[in-house]
Amino acid sequence: MNSFLKISPEVANALNNNLPIVALESTIISHGMPYPKNVETALAVEQTVKNNGAVPATIAIINGKCCVGLSNQEIEIFGKEKNVWKVSLRDMPYVVSQKIYGATTVAATMRIAAMAGIKIFATGGIGGVHRNAENTMDISADLTEMENTNVAIISAGVKSILDIGLTLEYIETKGIPVITIGQDEFPSFYSSKSGFTSPLRIDTISEIAELLKAKWALGLNGSVLIANPLPKQYEVANDIIEKYIQQALEAAKEKNIKGKNVTPFLLEHIATHTHGESLEANIALIKHNAEIASKIAVSLTK
């Protein structure tokens, strides 16, 4: 086994016995939500996975190891510490060799999940093609990672801080299936609507599991993006969110925010300026995604 990989006893036991496992990311804890809600949410999401018959595997980099399965104390550190590194693929060798704390994005979490042999990963929102990417070339490594790595992602769609249309086009180019559960329209995180028709719609867990088995058995490497619209009662209308996104984009421009800081800056700005309304939606939808991911993981092991 890869000497840089450290798998917790619970996750190792699940891997050895072909039990369902759901990978979870840590950037959402360190850079996606404020303390202490981030820690409460991370622990509640793990509990949701357990309640639905799967084993949670929260992934992060600690002391030179890619850790699969964190203790509650470790999750607390990722929620509280201010100088945790946000780790996408390009940061992995630096953070491992420097032995510093690294919170993994969707891209890095997928890669480490694949190293461990985990197929299902639940998150909130993925990175994608940013608005104005035709000028900035700001495209998340989450998308290039999805081209190659055999881990399915359950998310609430693509957040409209990104250009949803360009993100869907890019994903199509990379040969990644996009499935929306239970509706024809692709969701946009805070809203079940985006204005874009989902490339595929599937309504049952077992059919999604069959699609995953078929894809990988065919030798078609890469991810499947499974979009799970957020629970109706938490929806924030697109025109309300759009106002905050515009403000956040303006503020980012004014403060000259660049590179890896863009996404965390936009997320924090929106969370602060919507007075927690968006945060409540964020927490609800990630739990919902963890529930669906667990059910898919269970179905996959049958």
Catalytic residue list? 25, 159
Q: Is 18 exposed, middle or buried (0-12, 13-18, 19+ CB in 10 A)?
A: exposed
Closer to ligand PSU by Cβ: residue 238 or 301: 238
Q: What is the DSSP letter of 22?
A: E
Binding to Mn ion in span 124-163, by CB under 5 A: 138
- Nearest-approach distance from CB 262 to Mn ion, in angstroms: 6
Residue 229 backbone phi and psi in degrees, to 5: -60, 140
Give the residue with the Cβ less far from ligand PSU, 123 or 299.
123
User: Do the bridges between strand 102-104 and strand 55-62 make them parallel or antiparallel, or are there none, so unpaired?
Assistant: antiparallel
Q: Which does 230 bind (CB under 5 to 8 A by kind): Mn ion, ligand PSU, none?
A: none
Closest CA to 191 of 151, 154, 239, 150: 239
Report the nearest approach of ligand PSU to the CB of residue 274 (Å): 13
Quote the CA–CA distance of 158 and 117 in Å, as a whole number.
26
Which residues of the chain form contacts with ligand PSU (CB under 6 A)?
25, 27-28, 32, 88, 105-106, 124-127, 140-142, 159, 260, 263, 267
Of 74 and 268, the one with the shorter C-beta distance to ligand PSU is 268
Beta-bridge mates of residue 85: 102
Residue 21 interacting partner from ligand PSU, Mn ion, none (CB closer than 5 to 8 Å by kind): none
Q: Is position 46 an interface residue for Mn ion (rule: CB under 5 A)?
A: no
Q: Using the minimum distance from each CB to Mn ion, give the nearer residue, 138 or 163.
A: 138
* Sole residue written with tokens 């990311």: 25
Count of residues touching Mn ion (by CB under 5 A): 1
Q: Give the one entry of ligand PSU, Mn ion, none that residue 212 binds, where binding means its C-beta sits below a cut-off of 5 to 8 angstroms depending on kind.
A: none
Q: Are 278 and 270 in contact (CB under 8 A)?
A: yes
Alpha-carbon span 225 to 157, nearest angstrom: 8
Which spans of this chain sit near Mn ion (rule: CB under 5 A)? 138
